[in-house]
């Protein structure tokens, strides 16, 4: 069951843009903190995380999310 998280605000921003981003930036990573969205989209998670650190610094989480139309489900067995 989904629970409230420190990234709820960022996830709401992501969901509000998911449809458009999945057309324009499918498979790329986006970085969001609060309402602030990095202008660039990234091919690699590591590059997106580094850009988030450079913009937002350490100490408060920011969302780094790969853009898909529907959320992938990981299989862990």
For the segment 8-37, give every residue that binds another protein (CB under 8 A).
Answer: 8, 11
DSSP state of 26: T
* Max Cα distance, the chain (Å): 37
Comparing CA positions, the residue from 69, 66, 42 lying closest to residue 54 is 42
Indicate whether 5 belongs to the interface with another protein (CB under 8 A).
yes
Helix, strand, or coil (residue 36): strand
Q: Closest separation between CB of residue 3 and another protein, Å?
A: 7
Count of residues that bind another protein according to CB under 8 A: 29
Task: Give the footprint of another protein on this chain (CB under 8 A).
Answer: 1-3, 5-8, 11, 45-46, 49-50, 52-53, 57-59, 61-65, 71-77
């Amino acid at each position: 069951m989904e629970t409230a998280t420190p990234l709820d605000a960022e996830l709401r921003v992501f969901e509000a843009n998911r449809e458009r981003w999945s057309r324009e930036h499918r498979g790329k990573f986006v970085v969001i903190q609060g309402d602030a969205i990095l202008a660039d989209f990234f091919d690699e998670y590591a590059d997106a995380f580094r850009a988030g650190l450079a913009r937002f610094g350490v100490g408060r989480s920011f969302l780094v999310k790969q853009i898909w139309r529907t959320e992938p489900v990981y299989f862990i067995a």
